[in-house]
Structure 1
Amino acid sequence: MILVLRALGVGDLATGVPALRALRAAFPSQTLTLAAPGWLTPLIALIGGVDRVLPVDGLTPFRVEAPSLAVNLHGSGPQSHRLLLRQHPEKLWAFGGPVGPEWSSQEHEVRRWCRLLEFYGVDTDPSALGLAIPSDPVPHGVTIVHPGAKSPSRRWPPERYAAVARELHAAGHDVIVTGSAAERDVAAKVVADAGLVPAAVPDTSLSSLAALIAHARLLISGDTGVSHLATAYGTPSVTLFGPMSPALWGPPPDRLRHRVIWHGTESTRGDRPGPDPHPALLEITVDEVLNLSREETS
């Protein structure tokens, strides 16, 4: 059994897809077990090749049968290393230590995990980001505005999202606003301020959200999980970056249907505590977003 640890969120899972596919190809006869949050199971099913999801909550302790190989796709350690070593694997592939490659904070997240596997002799394809499209019945051709993000520093002000939604709606876009259960209030505020009908905030499961993005005309969001789903499906997108550089977390530069806006620098990079958006995110204007949105859908 191959045990892989990636106990993070949607965007983290999406950026780990090429590495997971490389492991599947390298060990076709082994059971591939992914330790990840259970709520991600519908999305993990769209990757293909994962035989078992081991539901975990972050780096909380768990126990499995001793794997032949444990692969740390979670982080640089040491906590994640120790968690996997407690499973008594025959081998551990991870950054650092006496055997593994050196961790770099200056490489793209997709490339990082592919490099880890390449160090151990596994062939990878960093462009293998695609996901299967769920069969959930969803509207096609909508423009999605997604104002939420896990970190407050990655949330562009909702009134600016509303201004974008209002202008695109006036230009003929069928605009809907998405958000998690915790983001329903901000999504409803964007809908109200934009003058959209209340039904523009749909109830979506993770599977139906993926289907909605796969069939969308355009996605506008911050640097959060849904932007990685747009990359996976080739859906035109405009992503607003604040604390992180798109060179580390953005779409591959050769995918021209995905546009990014970032006014930060390496010296300003990094999430900041508190309730306010990152200063680089606040420098992004409504007109900038609208101009790129029009270019992507013209």
Structure 2
Amino acid sequence: MRPRALVLRAIGLGDMLAGVPALKALRRAVPEHELVLAAPGVLAPLVALVDAVDTHLPTAELAPVAWSGAPPEVAVDLHGNGPASRRLVEELAPARVVAFHGGPSRWDPEEQERDRWCRLVAEAFGVATDPDDVTIAVPRVAPAASGAVVVHAGAAYPSRRWPADRFAAVARALAGDGHDVVLTGTADEQPLAEEVRRRAGLPAGAVLAGRTDLAELAALVADARLVVSGDTGTAHLASAYRRPSVLLFGPTPPHRWGPPAGPHTVLWHGTGPGDPHGAELDPALAAIDVDEVVAACRARIGQAVRPG
């Protein structure tokens, strides 16, 4: 039986994708181990696209991990730097725990998210890492729209949600340029997508929010002409597939969560961090106007290379 290694990263879509470089480095560090990723069950379609991971163990955020069998030989806390997540991996009685809290590696709040977790793995295992290696496999499903401009207006918190009327103005301008514009989001974000569609004058079929699972969303983004999004998981998908994107940042500075080098334009007018969980639109995000987003989109489309 293969030895097993557990990785805890039971958080959202963007978080999981930002952890991909560290997962790939860990795969190189323990090639003989079965690599088990404890992550939310809803992420299963995307976890299956990360070739570094052998097994997905559905786990809710900061909930006990439903591990069975012998304890893992190594458990890596890629969740955070607090005692709560470290306790969850320690409860599995692994032979070795790799984590920030209480370990030799120190947490740097200003560090880029991908760099942070790669550094933890590198310091623990002495393995080379590449924080920009965010690529995942393309799902074997047909995209709902081929070569579309994907506009994702939603975000988990209002502080990260650019106004719907501005997204609509961008969508209207790009549709007027002759591009097929589609609107993505979760089922809960479908009313927002419908509002953007109505304001932009797009056809009813433009709304894909609530109509795609994560594999279908990934396929759509992998074949997109352009992705327009705030600081969301959809933005991280654009990075994973190196698709051109225009990303609107607000409370979280791009140097902490921005994309790796690639065909991505980041717009940010902040001077420091705000509240990413805030109930009001962040001033830095509010300062981004429609004209600069449209100009950035047109520039990116002009430079775009179709996916091969």
Deviations 1:199-228 (A, max 9, x none): 001211100100000000000010000001
SS at match of 1:47: coil
SS at match of 2:116: helix
Q: Whole-Å Cα distance in 1 between the matches of residues 167 and 220 of structure 2?
A: 19
Alpha carbons 2:162, 2:286 under 8 Å: kept? yes
* Structure 1 residue 272, shift from structure 2 partner: 4.7
1:279 maps to 283
Deviations 1:238-286 (A, max 9, x none): 000011011110012x32x1000111112x4332532x21111111100
From 126, 149, 170, the equivalent of 1:164 is: 170
Letter aligned with residue 157 of structure 1: P
1:190 maps to 196
Alpha carbons 1:93, 1:100 under 8 Å: kept? no
Alpha carbons 1:145, 1:176 under 8 Å: kept? yes
SS at match of 1:96: coil
Alpha carbons 2:86, 2:101 under 8 Å: kept? no
Q: Whole-Å Cα distance in 2 between the matches of residues 161 and 244 of structure 1?
A: 20
1:119 maps to 123
Alpha carbons 1:18, 1:127 under 8 Å: kept? yes
2:306 maps to none
2:149 maps to 143
Alpha carbons 2:113, 2:257 under 8 Å: kept? yes
1:269 maps to 274
Matched, 1:297 2:298: no
Q: Whole-Å Cα distance in 1 between the matches of residues 74 and 14 of structure 2?
A: 25
Q: Whole-Å Cα distance in 2 between the matches of residues 206 and 288 of structure 1?
A: 30
1:86 maps to 91
Runs of 4+ in structure 1 displaced over 4 angstroms?
A: none
SS at match of 1:95: coil
SS at match of 1:23: helix
Normalising by structure 1, we get a TM-score of: 0.96
SS at match of 1:4: strand
Matched, 1:229 2:237: yes
* Structure 1 residue 82, shift from structure 2 partner: 0.7
Deviations 1:156-198 (A, max 9, x none): 0001000100111011111011110110000011011100001
Normalising by structure 2, we get a TM-score of: 0.93
* Structure 1 residue 100, shift from structure 2 partner: 2.3
Letter aligned with residue 250 of structure 1: G
Deviations 1:18-38 (A, max 9, x none): 111111121111111100001
Unaligned runs of 5+ in 1: none
Over the matched positions of the two proteins, sequence identity in percent amounts to 49
Q: Whole-Å Cα distance in 1 between the matches of residues 206 and 5 of structure 2?
A: 43
